[in-house]
């Protein structure tokens, strides 16, 4: 598994497994655990979850049942909007308990809530000092949020997870993050999963340019998009529920996209956001509860 080295020296597998809404939103049962066990069996070692996904327990069960040594895994979770500020420490401990782990490899602020960022980050820094977290990161943070964090952060974030796909490339923000030594990770790299109401024909996987490149290289459309990301040094965390898709998302090394092909995909950008917008997401996020 190819890795990227974060600025604090921690290595993260470049291809991870996204766990949001396996089966259904906040589903946490044997079906979710079985899906995660399949992902472990085909070779995934980097798993991205969050307290609000409601499936940390299922991931914990899968890790335990797999028998894979903890130090071979890279586990990521996130603190939700309603847990930020004074509840951050307790929220982290709840995540660890649900996952049945002693530490996390990466812990993220799920969405920017500027009023709470300082208090949240300072708790995370303490957890990092205590070696309960190996790396600290962000999710959905805008340039203004990162600038705010820089005014007080003792420990720099290593990573920013963004909605990023060929229709929403966020080029300026990506370059800003990379300049500041933050790895960029892409959620919904294929243009949203089954949890959204976006029709398949409207997603980048159905774009004629992507389809043509897939045919040319003898791979599927998803592999073209993921290769576009990894070739440019980004981390991807696609979700998959079938063995075919799980293995396909890992098999990106038998072909290469030319600079011209990478640019062609870049040019598909429409500034089309399928998921939440950090400018407005907090209002609706506050209505979403983290399951016990």
- d(CA 64, CA 70) in angstroms, rounded, equals 9
Kindly report the backbone phi and psi dihedral angles of residue 224, in degrees, each rounded to the nearest multiple of 5, phi listed first: -60, -45
Q: pLDDT tens, position by position, for the chain (292 residues)?
A: 899 999 999 999 999 999 999 999 999 999 999 999 999 999 999 999 999 999 999 999 999 999 999 999 999 999 999 999 999 999 999 999 999 999 999 999 999 999 999 999 999 999 999 999 999 999 999 999 999 999 999 999 999 999 999 999 999 999 999 999 999 999 999 986 555 677 888 899 999 999 999 999 999 999 999 999 999 999 999 999 999 999 999 999 999 999 999 999 999 999 999 999 999 999 999 999 999 8
Choices 3.20.20.100, 3.20.20.70, 3.40.50.1000, 1.10.150.570: CATH for 3-285:
3.20.20.100
DSSP letters for the chain = --EEE-TTS-EEESB-EE-TTSSSTT--SHHHHHHHHHHHHHT--EEE--GGGT-HHHHHHHHHHHT--GGG-EEEEEE-GGG-GGGHHHHHHHHHHHHT-S-BSEEEESS--HHHHHHHHHHHHHHHHTTSBS-EEEES--HHHHHHHHTT-SS---EEEEE-BTTB--HHHHHHHHHTT-EEEEESTTS--TTS---GGGSGGG-HHHHHHHHHHTS-HHHHHHHHHHHTT-EE-----SHHHHHHHH--SS----HHHHHHHHTT------S--TTTHHHHHTTPPPP-
Instruction: Give yes or no: 53 in active site.
Output: yes
Q: How many CB atoms lie within 10 A of CB 98?
A: 22
Domain boundaries, the chain: 3-285
Catalytic residue among 53, 107, 116, 159: 53
State the pTM of this model. 0.96
């Amino acid at each position: 598994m190819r890795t990227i080295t974060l600025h604090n020296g921690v290595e993260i597998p470049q291809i991870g497994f996204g766990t949001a809404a396996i089966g259904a939103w906040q589903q946490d049962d044997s079906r979710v655990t079985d899906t995660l066990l399949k992902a472990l069996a085909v070779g995934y070692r980097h798993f991205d979850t969050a307290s609000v996904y409601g499936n940390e327990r299922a991931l914990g069960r899968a890790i335990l049942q797999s028998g894979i040594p903890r130090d071979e895994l890279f586990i990521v979770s996130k603190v939700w909007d309603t847990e930020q500020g004074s509840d951050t420490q307790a929220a982290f401990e709840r995540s660890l308990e649900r996952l049945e782990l002693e530490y996390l490899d990466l812990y993220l602020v799920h969405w920017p809530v500027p009023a709470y960022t300082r208090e949240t980050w300072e708790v995370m820094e303490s957890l990092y000092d205590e070696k309960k977290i190996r790396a600290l990161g962000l999710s959905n943070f805008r340039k203004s949020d990162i600038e705010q964090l820089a005014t007080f952060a003792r420990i720099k974030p290593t990573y920013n997870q963004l909605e990023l796909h060929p229709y929403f490339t966020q080029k300026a923000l990506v370059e800003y993050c990379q300049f500041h030594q933050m790895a960029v990770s892409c959620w919904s790299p294929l243009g949203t999963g089954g949890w959204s109401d976006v029709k398949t024909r409207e997603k980048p996987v159905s774009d004629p340019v992507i389809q043509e490149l897939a045919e040319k290289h003898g791979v599927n459309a998803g592999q073209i998009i993921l290769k576009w990301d990894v070739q440019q040094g980004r981390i991807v965390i696609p979700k998959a529920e079938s063995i075919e898709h799980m293995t396909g998302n890992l098999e990106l090394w038998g072909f290469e996209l030319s600079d011209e092909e990478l640019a062609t995909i870049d040019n598909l950008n429409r500034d089309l956001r399928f998921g939440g917008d950090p400018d407005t997401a907090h209002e609706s996020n506050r209505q979403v509860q983290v399951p016990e």
